[in-house]
Amino acid sequence: MEPDPDIQTVPKGFRCKLCDVNIPNEPSLEAHMKGKKHQHLCRLRAKRKAQEENSVYVSGFKPDTSTSELAEYFQQFGPVAEVIVDKERSLYAIVEFAESASTEATLAQLQHCLDGLKLRVKPRERKEFKLASKEKHDRTKPHISLEKLNHELCLTSSVNEQMQKMVEIFQLSENDSKARQLVVQLLQEVLVEFLPDCQIVPFGSSVNTFGSHSCDLDLVLDLENTKAFQNRTRKSEQMGENQSEDGQSEDSILSDIDLATASPAELLELVAAILRKCTPGVHKVQTVSSARLPVVKFSHRQLSLQGDITINNRLAVRNTRFLQLCSGLDSRVRPLVYSVRFWAKQKQIAGNPSGGGPLLNNYALTLLVLFYLQTVSPPVLPSVEQLKNMACEEEECVIDGWDCTFPSQPISVPPSKNTDDLCTLLFGFFTYYSKFDFPGSVVSLRAGCTLPITEFLSRDDETPDTAESSDAARQKTTVRPKLGPVNILDPFELHHNVAGNITERTHKNLRREFCEAEKYCRSLQYQRKSSKGKSWGLVKLFTPRVEGVSSSQDAIEKIPEIIIPFRAAILTQSFRTELSSAAETFRVVWFKKVCSILEVVFNDILKCTPSDQVEISQDQTKAKGDTEEEEVNNNQSLDSSSHQPTAHAGIKRPLSIEEGPSSSSSPQGKRMRLEPSADYPEVAHWNWTQTHPVWAGRRKIRRVLLKTSDETSKPEGGCSSIESRVTQYIIENDSNPKDKLDFQLDALVVGSDECTKAVLKFKETSDPTGHFQDFFHFLDSFLPKMVETLLAKSE
């Protein structure tokens, strides 16, 4: 194979120069090269190359020459795709043609003249493709190298000092703040020309005291006063006057749009047009309407700043004030937030580079730190509800129906009695979240404690009609936050899960990093400065995560164990309601459902038979006659099994309660019941036999069967009837059905002090032909998806 010029062999594996990452081994390298990021950059590089080849560099024109004049002139050589003029001084332009032949024709002409001036036209400079744009967009990228940072941190004498140093190094400098103020002022001056009385208000990290050198400038364009202005003007126009009472006339832009009825997308396009055409220094203006809150993104060339403008987002301005307040309440808040943010960035669990993405956003991460400080004993920070009670009447604040009241000044809040130092608090932060049941609970800064997930399962998910609902009514309307693997309620907008974007994968990484950090913080290497010049304290904690390297936690997961995570979001409403009424025993109810589904999967879909011959007889006959009708019956048995798993053969008994007083035999005397009131951990146990290689060639058989049926294509494990047919096909075509594999399965439910999940432990009990690994490998990807599919249908 030809060596790839992007890949370099380095002592610890490989380096992809294109993506700027280290890769530890060949399998990871292969995965990396097929991965989205690498493929995207390859395409981007090819596109840039084509653009360079199709472009010429032009200079020598008059400074007031417009892009359209240049385009018109160069049109004679072929269609012009784009003309970019150096905005500051109009000294040069890049003219990009749609085809490379036009470039050649342009360069072949010896002389070019425009407006009586001789133009200089040359090939566009070819630049090596670098991840320059990523660097610019990398919002928390340190302005010092990691080596320099480590050096600075090692010079200190304690973790406490290191954490203070983090603030010193990363906080916004006076110049950073001034640059931001300048942009705010500039935008205010320009926008008010077109949108009278509007206000540009900064929020987010530029002003919340947690900002870093390269963070974005988040801005709200508040159009409430402009709306009022428009109303006044329209009224006075109707009365035959052409000026509003305050003497201002409605600008032409405002006469084109009705602010009261315009959609956010229309408003954003308007703002984007003003930025593009009338705001000096502003470029790369882009509207993103698909975001939860649509934004206009822009850059400021001279000040090297990137910004986002959202419209009327008053809640964000208010929650920024809340973060400022928390930061002012205790001097330990900022060092903790800066250290945690940097750690999370290094471990690739927070800080989505361009806004949206599957990682925690910095706001959510900051809320996790503040929440921990509310729950530590004694608390460092009060809950939002307590803060509300400390506010005076003038500080009352309700935005969009949400109570956002808290004191404006830290002085109104009594100081914390907690005396832990920073080093202890950071350790405590990792310990707290390494044992946290993210999927089974909801973080509430409002209450200052976790709320059971069951409180959010049975609610109505209709969004209140803002026009109709009064503020109080809206507060009371039971709007449901989008539940996911991580649930952090916004302190004010109580139906918004600020971590609603988190994927299972990020959640898994998050948990792993919390556990790793907790383990490291227990060591002396964290707590004490090394006398031998080795890295210590934060330095080791900030080691970047290397793509593809498995941690010790991953290694543990390699034992034959499969996890079925609790995912509230996929459950049917009726099952959610049932879980909700089970309150704190919801895990048992959910686990029993999982157990009954496991029986369906092993008995009916994968056609395993119970190992015990006495137990098998009846059910084996039943399994063999599997039809569509039976499939329905299976699902019905799931429905009716929510309080008591069906008594299929194979399930022997739940181990945890098998000797206990509450255990009772099923009518067949083969299994014990799971009692909802039983203590954790609940355990169930099965012995199965598989006589056919139901894992072998499944994907191919599925594809073939799908071609000859009316079923629409579903992923592996996405449809029980297809999977049953695939198994049936394998069994019918198995020429050697004697390769018997016996295995046992222990299932248990865990939660509360770790993530709610069912842990399935497999063990081969007889495997003469050595098939167990293949079977387990198949189950590892098939089973979670299959169980999820059946759970999602289960009433």
Cis amide leading into 681 (omega within 30):
yes
| Stretch binding ligand UTP (CB under 6 A), from 356-364, 526-534, 583-591, 604-612 | 356-364
Interaction between residue 14 and ligand UTP (CB under 6 A): no
Tokens of 771: 């098939």
Sign of the Cα torsion 47, 53, 59, 62 reads: negative
Residue 32 in contact with residue 38, Cβ under 8 Å?
yes
Residues 594 and 602: their CA atoms lie apart, in Å, by 12
Q: How far is the CB of 501 from ligand UTP (least distance, A)?
A: 9
Task: Please give the residues from 629 up to 668 whose contact with ligand UTP meets the rule CB under 6 A.
Answer: none
Q: Which is nearer to ligand UTP, 398 or 731 (CB)?
A: 398
Binding of residue 362 to ligand UTP (CB under 6 A): yes
Side chain identity at residue 51, one-letter code: Q
Q: Could you tell me which stretch among 107-115, 160-168, 210-218, 780-788 binds ligand UTP (CB under 6 A)?
A: 210-218
Cross-strand bridge partners of residue 296:
287, 309
The DSSP secondary structure of 11-41, one letter per residue, reads TTEEEETTTTEEE-SHHHHHHHHHSHHHHHH
Shortest distance in whole angstroms from residue 212 CB to ligand UTP: 6
Site residues for ligand UTP, window 406-425 (CB under 6 A)? none
- Nearest of 162, 212, 209 to residue 422 by alpha carbon: 162
Residues 498-537 interacting with ligand UTP (rule: CB under 6 A) = 498
Least distance to ligand UTP, CB of residue 360, Å: 8
Of 208 and 789, CB closest to ligand UTP: 208
The footprint of ligand UTP on residues 275-304 (CB under 6 A) is: none
Pick out residues in 306-335 that bind ligand UTP (CB under 6 A).
315-316, 319-320
For ligand UTP, the binding residue among 170, 203, 427, 776 (CB under 6 A) is 203
Radius of gyration of the chain from its Cα atoms, rounded to whole angstroms: 32
Q: Which residues pair with 761 in a beta bridge?
A: 561, 746
Picking from 650, 647, 641, the residue whose alpha carbon sits closest to that of residue 608 is 650
Q: Are 71 and 97 in contact (CB under 8 A)?
A: no
Nearer to ligand UTP among residue 216 and residue 513 (C-beta): 216
Asked if 670 and 647 touch (Cβ cutoff 8 Å), the reply is yes
Q: Which is nearer to ligand UTP, 94 or 359 (CB)?
A: 359
Contacts (CB under 6 A) with ligand UTP, residues 443-502: 498
Rounded distance between C-alpha atoms, residue 218 and residue 205, angstroms: 8
Nearer to ligand UTP, 14 or 170 (CB): 170
| Nearer Cβ to ligand UTP (180/671) | 180
Residue 292 near residue 264 (C-beta atoms within 8 A) = no
H or E, element range at 513: helix 504-521
Which residue of 162, 287, 346, 361 would you call a contact of ligand UTP, by CB under 6 A? 361
Pairing of strands 441-444, 449-452: antiparallel
Q: From the CB of 176, what's the least distance to ligand UTP, in Å?
A: 12
Q: What amino acid is encoded at 222 in this protein? A: D
State how far the alpha carbon of 397 is from the alpha carbons of 83, 223, 406, 475, in Å.
50, 19, 8, 13
474 contacts 460 by C-beta, under 8 angstroms: no
Q: How far is the CB of 348 from ligand UTP (least distance, A)?
A: 14
Give the binding range for ligand UTP (CB under 6 A) out of 200-208, 265-273, 522-530, 539-547. Answer: 200-208
- Smallest distance from ligand UTP to CB 322, Å: 9
Residue 765 Cβ, how far from ligand UTP at the closest point, in Å? 50
Smallest separation, CB 362 to ligand UTP (Å): 3
Of 11-19, 201-209, 269-277, 444-452, which part binds ligand UTP (CB under 6 A)?
Answer: 201-209
- For residue 399, the tally of other CB atoms under 10 A from its CB is 17
Min CB(129)–ligand UTP separation in Å: 26
* Distance from C-alpha of 319 to C-alpha of 684, rounded to nearest angstrom: 46
Q: 3-state SS string over 349-397?
A: CECCCCCCCCCECHHHHHHHHHHHHHHCCCCCCCCHHHHHHHCCHHHCC
Report if residue 208 touches ligand UTP, rule: CB under 6 A.
yes
For residue 323, the minimal CB distance to ligand UTP (Å) is: 6
Say if residues 439 and 566 touch (Cβ distance below 8 Å). yes
Instruction: Please give the span between the terminal C-alpha atoms of the chain, in angstroms, as a whole number.
Output: 54
DSSP, res 729: H
Which position has the token pair 């210590």? Answer: 536
Candidates 150-158, 211-219, 540-548, 628-636: pick the segment binding ligand UTP (CB under 6 A).
211-219
**Interface with ligand UTP: number of residues (CB under 6 A):** 19
Residue among 19 and 317 whose Cβ is closer to ligand UTP: 317
Contact between residue 739 and residue 769 where contact means Cβ atoms under 8 Å apart: yes
Residues with Cβ within 8 Å of 255's Cβ and at least 6 positions away in sequence, in order, are none
Binding segment toward ligand UTP, per CB under 6 A, in 5-13, 203-211, 479-487, 739-747: 203-211
Q: Considering only residues 342, 363, 429, 430, which one is a binding residue for ligand UTP as defined by CB under 6 A?
A: 363
Angle between helices 772-793 and 720-732 (to 10 degrees): 150
Stretch 126-185 residues interacting with ligand UTP (CB under 6 A): 139-140
Nearer CB in complex with ligand UTP: 482/622 = 482
> Could you tell me the smallest distance in angstroms from the CB atom of residue 387 to ligand UTP?
17
Which is closer to ligand UTP, CB of 213 or CB of 643? 213
Q: Binding residue for ligand UTP (CB under 6 A) from 167, 215, 333, 422?
A: 215
Nearest residue to ligand UTP by CB is: 204
Q: Interface with ligand UTP by CB under 6 A: which residues?
A: 139-140, 203-205, 208, 210, 215-216, 218, 315-316, 319-320, 351, 361-363, 498
